Amino acid sequence: MFDPRPLVDIATAIGREAGVLVQRMRATAVVSFDTKSTATDVVTAADRASEQLVRTRLSELRPGEPVLGEEEGGEVVEGLTWVVDPIDGTVNYLYGIPWYSVSIAAQLDGESVAGAVVEPATGRVWTAARGHGAFLDGSPLHVSATTDLSLSLLGYGFAYRAERRQRQADTWAAMATRVRDLRRAGAASLDLCSVAAGRLDAYAEHGLGRWDWAAGGLIAAEAGAVVRLPGSSPELGEDATFAAAPGIAEAMHGALVESGFGKV
Compute, in degrees rounded to 10, the torsion defined by CA atoms 164, 166, 167, 168.
90
Residue type for 44, please? T
For residue 41, is pLDDT > 70? no
Residue 117 burial (10 A CB sphere; 0-12, 13-18, 19+): buried
- Confidence (pLDDT) at 264: 83
Question: What pLDDT is stored for residue 42 in this prediction?
Answer: 53
Quick one: pLDDT at residue 44? Answer: 80
Is the pLDDT confidence value at 84 over 70?
Answer: yes
> Domains, the chain, ranges and CATH?
5-140 (3.30.540.10), 149-263 (3.40.190.80)
Work out the mean pLDDT of the chain and round it to a whole number: 93
Cβ neighbours, 10 Å, residue 160: 15
Question: Can you tell me the mean pLDDT for 22-47?
Answer: 68
Name the pairing type of β-strands 80-88 and 101-108. antiparallel
> Is a pLDDT exceeding 50 seen at residue 55?
yes
Please state, in angstroms and rounded to a whole number, the distance separating the CA atoms of residues 83 and 105.
5
CA dist 242 and 226 (Å) reads 8
- By percentage, how much of the chain surpasses pLDDT 90? 83
Task: Say if residue 139 is exposed, middle or buried (CB neighbours under 10 Å; 0-12, 13-18, 19+).
Answer: exposed
Determine if the pTM surpasses 0.85: yes
- Looking at residue 255, its amino acid is A
CA-based nearest residue to 129, from 111, 147, 145: 111
Q: Is residue 183's pLDDT more than 70?
A: yes
The strand pairing partners of 140, in sequence order, are 135
Residue type (1 letter), 140? P
Phi, psi (rounded to 5 degrees) for 246 = -60, -30
